C-alpha cells in the first residue's frame, strides 16, 4: 500500500511560516480510488507534491513519512527517487497544456517515460507508446504520435498525459484535478478511461478534486480537507448519505440543482483561514453555524467513529451524544420563492432579441497573411432574453458560446464580421457607432470567466468600479459616483475598506464579486455572464449564485448565462439554449430541455453530467 503518516509541510513566506499540511494520515490500497476533496488552499495539491517530493523551493517536509510498500521514499536520495517518480507513483497534473513539453512530439514524450521506467528501448518503446495512445482513445495514433501538443484539443492532451503517466507502469497514480478544465462529455470519457485502466492494471488512484459529483461516481473512500488538516474520512457511500462534520454537511447543501431552485444555497460565510495562524481551537469555528465556546479554545482530534469513519469535531468526542451531534442543522435554508418570481413570463417583450446571428473569423495564410477564407464560429442562431429572466447558453468548449456573448457586447468588432441582428430594446447593436453605441453599452455589460485576468492589477477596487461610470455616465459628479460605488460594494457583499485595496489582495470569490459590481455600476438591463462560477469552489460558487439571484430579484436585471455546468443551469436558468458547432440545436424552458430533451446531442450532454445522489442532509 501507499501510506502517508503524519506529514507536515511548511513554506517560508514573507508573512511567516505557512503550515500548508499539518499532520495528515491516509492509506491507499492497490485497486482502490481514494478521493481527497476540499476548497482551494486547503492543502490537497500540496499533499500530492509532498509525496512526489516536488515541493516548491521555499517548501520542505518538516516531519512524517511516505511509505510505498513499506519503503520510506522521503529517506531516498534523489537519484533513487527518480525511479519512484513515474515508475512506482505516477502523477496526472491538472493542466496538461503546461505539463506537456510544447517543443517535443507527444510520441517522444511517452517514449521518454517508457525508456526511463521499463526495459524497452528504441522501436520497441515507440511501439509501446503507440499501444498506449490506442488504449487511451487517441484517434489515428500512427499519425498523431508525431504531433506536437498544440495540435490537440484539451481532452486529447489530457489523454496523452494519462498515457504518459501509465506508460511507466506505476503501481499508484496521483490525479490532481484531472478533469477540471474539461467539458462534461470529455470529462465522462476521461473518467471512464481511468476506471477501465485501473481495473485492468490494479492501480491505486489518489483522486484530488473539488467536484463532489465526480467523487461520488469514482471513489471508494473520501477524505475531506480543511486548512491543512483532514477533518473527515469515510467510505463514499457513508460520506454522501450521512456526512458528520458541519463543513461536510454545508458543502453538500451548497451544490446547485433543480431541487434547490427558488431557494438560497447554503453558502458558507467567510474563507479558509490563513495558514500562518497559530490555531488555538477548531479551524472551522469562525465559519461554523453550530460552533460552541469550547471550539475557540480546544484543538479537536481526528476521532474514530464506528466502522472505518473518523471526524475532527468536538461534538463527537467521547461522552457526547453522537446522535444529537449528527442531527445538528448546519445552515438555515430560505423558503422557496413565490411562483410569480420563478416562472418565466414568455409573453414579456424581450430585452435582447438575436436573429440569425453569424460571426465569421477570417482565415489568413502565407507570408503576407492574406485572407484565404472564413470560419463561421457562430452560424445563424436566434434566441430571446426577457426582462428579469435568465437564458442559459450551454454546450461544449468551441461550440461558440463565448463568441456569441462577446459579439453581442461588441468586443469582436475588429476581429470578425457579422450577419443577422442583435436587437437591444429594438436597436441593432451591429449598426451602432459613436454616442449611440456608448448609450447601448450602458444597457449591456459582461462578467468574464476569470476575474483575476479581467481586473486591472494596477487599479484599486474603487478605480475599477469608477472607470465604467466615468466612460458611460460622465454626467455623474464625484459625490454621486462615490455614493453609487459604496452602495454597489454593499450590494455585492464587500466591506467599504475593500475599495482601497488591489485585486490581488482578494480571494477568487471576492474578485468575482468585484467583477459583478463593475458590471452593475452603470445599471444595465442585461448582463452576459461568461462562466462566472467555473473556476470557483463549491462554497464560493454558492455565494456567487445566491448574489446573482438576489440582484436579479432586486434590480430586475436579465442574464445571458454562458456555462457548461448543468447543475448551475438547473438552479438559475428560466430558459435554456443548447449550442453545438456554432448552431443552437435545442431551446426551451429549463424543465422542458433538461427533463425531456428532444435532440440526440442534448441527451448525450445531459447523460454525461456526473450526478451526486445523496440523502437529505440535515
Three-state SS string over 182-220 comes to CCHHHHHHHHHHHHHHHHHHCCEEEEEECCHHHHHHHCC
Q: Is the pTM above the cut of 0.75?
A: yes
Residues 90-132: pLDDT tens digits? 998 877 778 899 999 999 999 999 999 999 999 999 999 999 9
Amino acid 206: pLDDT: 93
Is residue 515 pLDDT above 50, yes or no?
yes
**pLDDT score at 540:** 80
User: Cell 440545436 appears where?
Assistant: 585
More confident residue, 120 or 289: 120
- Inform me whether the pLDDT recorded for 617 exceeds 50: no
Kindly state the average pLDDT of the residues 139-158: 85
Domains for the chain: give ranges and CATH numbers. 2-242 (3.40.50.300), 339-608 (3.40.50.300)
Which of the two residues, 99 and 459, has the higher pLDDT score?
459
Q: What is the DSSP letter of 345?
A: -
Would you state the pLDDT for residue 112? 93
| Whole-number Å distance between alpha carbons of 567 and 586 | 18
Residue 210 clears pLDDT 50, i.e. is over it: yes
Q: pLDDT for 474-502, tens place per residue?
A: 888 999 999 999 988 888 878 888 899 88
Check residue 347 and give its pLDDT.
64
pLDDT value of position 185:
79
Rounded CA-CA distance 450/457 in Å is 13
Select from 601, 559, 611, 549 the least CA-distant residue to 580.
601
pLDDT of res. 105: 94
The DSSP output letter for 15 is T
Q: What is the pLDDT of residue 506?
A: 80
How far apart CA 302 and CA 290 sit, in angstroms, is 18
Cell digits of residue 600: 440526440
C-alpha cell at 101: 513539453
Residue pair 589/383 in contact (Cβ under 8 Å)? The answer is no
Interval 388-443: pLDDT, tens: 999 999 988 778 898 999 999 999 988 889 999 999 988 999 998 888 888 888 89
Least-confidence region, from 327-336, 467-476, 512-521: 327-336
Cell of 94: 491538472
Distance of CA 592 to the CA centre of its chain: 27
Q: How far is CA 207 from CA 46, 215, 295, 461, in A?
A: 13, 8, 31, 37
Beta partners for residue 8, in sequence order: 22, 63
Q: Whole-number mean pLDDT of the chain? A: 86
Which sign does the torsion angle of CA 278, 284, 285, 287 carry?
A: positive
Amino acid at each position: 500500500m501507499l501510506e502517508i503518516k503524519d506529514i507536515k509541510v511548511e513554506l517560508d513566506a514573507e508573512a511567516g511560516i505557512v503550515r500548508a499540511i499539518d499532520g495528515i494520515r491516509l492509506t491507499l490500497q492497490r485497486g482502490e480510488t481514494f478521493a481527497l476533496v476540499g476548497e482551494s488552499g486547503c492543502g490537497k495539491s500540496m499533499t500530492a507534491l509532498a509525496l512526489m517530493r516536488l515541493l516548491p523551493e521555499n517548501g520542505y517536509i518538516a516531519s512524517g513519512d511516505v511509505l510505498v510498500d513499506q519503503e520510506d521514499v522521503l529517506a531516498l536520495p534523489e537519484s533513487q527517487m527518480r525511479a519512484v517518480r513515474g515508475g512506482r507513483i505516477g502523477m496526472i497534473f491538472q493542466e496538461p497544456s503546461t505539463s506537456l513539453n510544447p517543443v517535443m512530439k507527444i510520441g517522444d514524450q511517452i517514449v521518454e517515460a517508457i525508456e526511463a521506467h521499463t526495459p524497452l528501448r528504441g522501436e520497441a518503446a515507440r511501439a509501446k507508446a503507440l499501444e498506449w495512445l490506442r488504449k487511451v482513445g487517441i484517434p489515428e495514433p500512427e499519425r498523431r504520435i508525431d504531433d506536437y501538443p498544440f495540435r490537440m484539443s484539451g481532452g486529447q492532451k489530457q489523454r496523452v498525459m494519462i498515457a504518459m503517466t501509465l506508460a511507466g507502469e506505476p503501481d499508484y497514480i496521483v490525479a490532481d484535478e484531472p478533469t477540471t478544465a474539461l467539458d462534461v462529455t470529455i470529462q465522462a470519457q476521461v473518467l471512464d478511461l481511468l476506471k477501465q485502466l485501473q481495473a485492468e492494471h490494479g492501480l491505486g488512484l489518489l483522486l484530488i478534486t473539488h467536484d463532489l459529483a465526480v467523487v461520488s461516481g469514482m471513489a471508494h473512500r473520501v477524505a475531506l480537507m480543511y486548512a491543512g488538516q483532514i477533518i473527515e474520512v469515510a467510505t463514499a457511500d457513508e460520506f454522501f448519505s450521512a456526512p458528520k462534520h458541519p463543513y461536510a454537511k454545508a458543502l453538500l447543501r451548497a451544490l446547485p440543482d433543480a431541487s434547490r431552485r427558488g431557494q438560497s444555497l447554503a453558502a458558507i460565510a467567510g474563507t479558509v483561514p490563513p495558514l500562518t495562524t497559530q490555531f488555538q481551537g477548531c479551524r472551522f469555528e469562525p465559519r461554523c453555524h453550530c460552533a460552541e465556546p469550547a471550539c475557540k479554545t480546544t484543538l479537536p482530534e481526528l476521532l474514530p467513529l464506528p466502522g472505518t469513519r473518523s471526524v475532527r469535531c468536538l461534538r463527537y468526542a467521547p461522552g457526547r451524544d453522537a446522535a444529537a451531534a449528527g442531527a445538528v442543522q448546519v445552515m438555515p435554508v430560505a423558503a422557496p420563492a413565490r411562483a410569480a418570481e420563478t416562472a418565466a413570463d414568455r409573453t414579456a417583450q424581450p430585452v435582447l432579441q438575436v436573429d440569425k446571428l453569424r460571426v465569421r473569423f477570417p482565415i489568413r495564410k502565407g507570408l503576407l497573411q492574406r485572407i484565404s477564407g472564413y470560419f463561421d464560429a457562430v452560424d445563424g442562431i436566434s434566441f430571446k432574453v426577457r426582462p428579469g429572466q435568465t437564458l442559459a447558453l450551454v454546450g461544449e468548449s468551441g461550440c461558440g458560446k463565448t463568441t456569441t456573448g462577446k459579439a453581442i457586447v461588441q468586443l469582436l468588432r475588429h476581429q470578425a464580421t457579422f450577419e443577422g441582428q442583435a436587437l437591444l430594446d429594438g436597436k441593432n447593436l451591429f449598426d451602432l457607432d459613436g454616442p449611440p453605441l456608448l448609450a447601448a453599452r450602458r444597457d449591456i455589460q459582461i462578467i468574464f470567466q476569470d476575474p483575476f485576468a479581467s481586473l486591472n492589477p494596477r487599479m484599486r477596487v474603487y478605480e475599477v468600479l469608477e472607470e465604467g461610470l466615468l466612460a458611460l455616465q460622465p454626467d455623474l459628479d464625484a459625490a454621486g459616483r462615490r455614493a453609487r460605488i459604496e452602495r454597489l460594494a454593499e450590494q455585492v457583499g464587500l466591506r467599504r475598506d475593500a475599495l482601497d485595496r488591489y485585486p490581488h489582495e482578494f480571494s477568487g470569490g471576492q474578485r468575482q464579486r468585484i467583477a459583478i459590481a463593475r458590471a452593475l455600476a452603470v445599471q444595465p438591463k442585461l448582463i452576459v455572464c461568461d462562466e462566472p462560477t467555473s473556476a470557483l469552489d463549491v462554497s464560493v460558487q454558492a455565494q456567487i449564485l445566491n448574489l446573482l439571484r438576489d440582484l436579479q430579484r432586486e434590480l430586475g436585471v436579465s442574464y445571458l448565462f454562458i456555462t457548461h455546468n448543468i447543475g448551475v443551469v438547473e438552479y438559475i436558468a428560466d430558459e435554456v439554449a443548447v449550442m453545438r458547432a456554432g448552431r443552437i440545436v435545442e431551446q426551451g424552458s429549463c424543465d422542458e430541455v433538461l427533463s425531456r430533451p428532444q435532440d440526440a446531442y442534448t441527451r448525450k450532454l445531459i447523460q454525461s453530467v456526473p450526478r451526486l445522489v445523496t440523502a437529505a442532509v440535515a
